[in-house]
């Protein structure tokens, strides 16, 4: 399952709708993961709308990778994130780079 809109942007804050669209999930799943994982702490504006940072997005990428792509349970993902945070981030970065390379190669093949 690939992420939508995986291009890197330089925004400071992302709305819950933008985060949900980026991962192709419902906003309710984003709110649920926010409650389940301590590493996601969005700021809220005066209206109470959640504003997610780049760090929050990086944590969502890790959670998404573990739960949706690798099939971990929520509890298993929590344990994995606590035990091997650095190693997990490194391996996830490698997977993201390989996915980008694959998408580029598929695009090149389509252009031939």
Tell me the pLDDT tens digit for each residue of 32-51: 999 999 888 899 999 999 99
Integer angstrom CA distances of residue 99 from 15, 29, 73, 106: 25, 24, 23, 10
- Please report which confidence band the pLDDT of residue 105 belongs to, taking 50, 70 and 90 as the band edges: very high
23 close to 45: Cβ distance less than 8 angstroms: no
- What residue segments make up the domains of the chain, in order of their start? 14-111
Q: Which residue has the higher pLDDT, 11 or 21?
A: 21
Domain 14-111 architecture: Orthogonal Bundle (1.10)
Tell me how far apart the alpha carbons of residues 43 and 100 are, in angstroms, rounded to a whole number: 30
Task: Give the pLDDT confidence score for residue 24 in this predicted structure.
Answer: 93
Instruction: Please tell me which residue, 95 or 59, carries the higher pLDDT value.
Output: 59
Q: Read off the pTM.
A: 0.68
**For 3, which DSSP code?**
P
């Amino acid at each position: 399952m690939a992420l939508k809109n995986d291009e890197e942007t330089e925004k400071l804050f992302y709305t819950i709708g933008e985060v949900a669209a980026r991962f192709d999930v419902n906003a309710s799943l984003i709110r649920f993961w926010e409650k389940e994982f301590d590493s996601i702490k969005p700021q809220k504006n005066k209206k109470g709308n959640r504003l997610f940072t780049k760090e929050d997005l990086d944590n969502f990428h890790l959670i998404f990778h573990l739960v949706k792509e690798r099939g971990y349970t929520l509890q298993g993902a929590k344990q994995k994130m606590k035990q091997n945070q650095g190693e997990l981030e490194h391996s996830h970065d490698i997977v993201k780079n390989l996915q980008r390379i694959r998408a580029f190669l598929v695009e090149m093949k389509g252009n031939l």
